[in-house]
Every structure is written in structure tokens, then in C-alpha cells.
Amino acid sequence: MSRAQEFRTGDTPLPDIVILTHKLSRDYDMGSEVVRALRGVDLQIRRNEYVAVMGPSGSGKSTLMNLIGCLDTPTQGEYWLNGQKVSDLADDDLARIRNKEIGFVFQTFNLLPRTTALENVELPLLYSAALPRDRQARARAKLAAVGLSEREHHHPAQLSGGQQQRVAIARALINDPVLILADEPTGALDSRTSVEIMALFQDLNREGITVVVVTHEPDIARYAGRVLTFRDGHLTRDDAVGERLVARELLASLPSGEVSDEEDVESPVSPT
């Protein structure tokens, strides 16, 4: 995989670069000491790449995701998202760009418990100008895209873990982001369900969405095309995945057994 341009301060990223960081650093000032969580990271991710981020606990993975996700601002360095320099934007502008460009997926799904699947997916649109009818139509379409049309009116507790994560993915897609950021998205799922989630990510990636996934599982990293390894706040390795796994192929070869989603879908559950 070719590694794009040599970037210098004052340059602009090439057009197909969705993420560019230049000497990106994040210090946490703890009073008596400063924790240097990221120490000058240079990284470029092209449109339509699928990248896994690995590294031991405390190596700076979540700090990087927070910066890339426009949830935090760097202490030093530049961050360009989809052609726009966001590292020195104010909070309001950051929030606007975050809502428009990025979909987030978390280990623990982060769904609202007393709210239906459909309403959970609609949630990011509540602050938009969209009309209620249009909001619902869009949320329906996204739930259908993750195979959950039948579960619109279920609450999270009435869904399996894999189904909850699919609702969360539908929610992440509601504003048609260029980028999906996922921090340990399969950390709470059994192995078959994990492959189902990887299949969805690979589908989305094939449709043109850039995907960045933090994982500590080497198997999950092999669905990506590229693996970044962090250590002590440095990007220490940047490897192409040799034999990339294709989740749909794997699913076809797996017995559908276990307590998986597929079984669950057959059994009618009435929402209460």
C-alpha cells in the first residue's frame, strides 16, 4: 500500500486523504505530572481504506480515536479530516463536523434503554432540521440496511448483543458519514456475532465508507486492509494485511448454531 505524500506544515492533504495527522500530540496535564498520551503521530488514511488500530493498553489508541473523532483537540500538531483542517477549530464547529462526517460505534453499544431501535437510530437527527417524517424514513432505511427492519419497535433489552450493535451501526450511519470509528466494537460479542459485525463493516467499506477500528484481537484486525500499531504514544508499525479475511465467506462456512442472532430472528418477540 503506497503511503501518500511527505507532508510539511503549510501543505494541504491530497484530495483522497480522509485522515491526515501531522506531528499530532496530546498531553494530559495532571498537575504534578504531564502524561504524554500521543507523541507526534504522522498518519495518512485514504478514502475507502479499512484500518485496524492495535497496541497495548495505555498506548494511546483511545486518545487517537478521540482526536480523529473530533471529540478532543490536540496539544500540538495538525489534524485534517476530509480536506478540512480541524485541529484549530472551536467546539461548535468541531461538533458540526463530527455529526456530519463521522459515525461512532462503541464496545457497549451505548443505546438508550427505554427507547425503541428506530428511535435510537433517529436520535442524531433530533438536532437537525429534518422533518419528523423524514427522520423516521431515514432511520427505517438504515435499520433495513443492517437487516433489522423486523425489530424497529424493540427496546435494546429485547435484542441480542449483535442486534444491539447493528442498531448502533444504523445510528452511526444516519447522517451518511465518510468515516466510521469503532472502539472495540466486538469486545462484548461472541465469535460468530463478531464475524457478522465484521461483515457489515466490510460491506460499508465496499460501499465507500472509510473504517477505523480499534481492537486487541488479532483475528478482528485481519478483516482490515492495514494495521497500525501504537506503543507509548508512538505509531510504531504500519502493516498491510497479508491474507485479509472476508467475513461473508467465513459466515457461509460457519454452522449457524450457538445462541446467535440468526436464530433469534426466527422467534417472534412481542415488544412491551
- Measured between alpha carbons, how far is 3 from 40 in angstroms, rounded to an integer? 17
- Measured between alpha carbons, how far is 162 from 164 in angstroms, rounded to an integer? 5
Of 1, 14, 34, 35, the one binding ligand ADP by CB under 6 A:
35
- DSSP annotation of 128 reads S
Q: How far is the CB of 28 from ligand ADP (least distance, A)?
A: 3
* Residue number with CB closer to ligand ADP (35 or 131): 35
- DSSP annotation of 256 reads S
Choose one: 60-68, 92-100, 149-157, 251-259; the region binding ligand ADP (CB under 6 A).
60-68
Interface mask toward Mg ion for 43-62; x: CB under 5 A: ------------------xx
Q: How far is CA 219 from the centre of its chain?
A: 17
* Residue number with CB closer to ligand ADP (32 or 57): 57
* Residue number with CB closer to Mg ion (61 or 226): 61
Q: Which does 28 bind (CB under 5 to 8 A by kind): ligand ADP, Mg ion, none?
A: ligand ADP
Q: Which does 252 bind (CB under 5 to 8 A by kind): Mg ion, ligand ADP, none?
A: none
Q: Does residue 57 belong to the site contacting ligand ADP (CB under 6 A)?
A: yes
Helices 132-145, 161-173: axis angle to 10 degrees equals: 130
Choose one: 58-66, 97-105, 108-116, 185-193; the region binding ligand ADP (CB under 6 A).
58-66
Alpha carbon distances (Å) from 78 to 41, 53, 87, 109: 10, 20, 5, 30
Rg (CA), the chain: 19
- Measured between alpha carbons, how far is 24 from 39 in angstroms, rounded to an integer? 7
Residue type, 71: L
* Residue number with CB closer to ligand ADP (83 or 218): 218
Q: Is 83 helix (H, G, I), strand (E, B) or coil?
A: coil
Residues of this chain that interact with ligand ADP (CB under 6 A) are 28, 30, 35, 37, 55, 57-63
Residues that bind Mg ion (CB under 5 A): 61-62
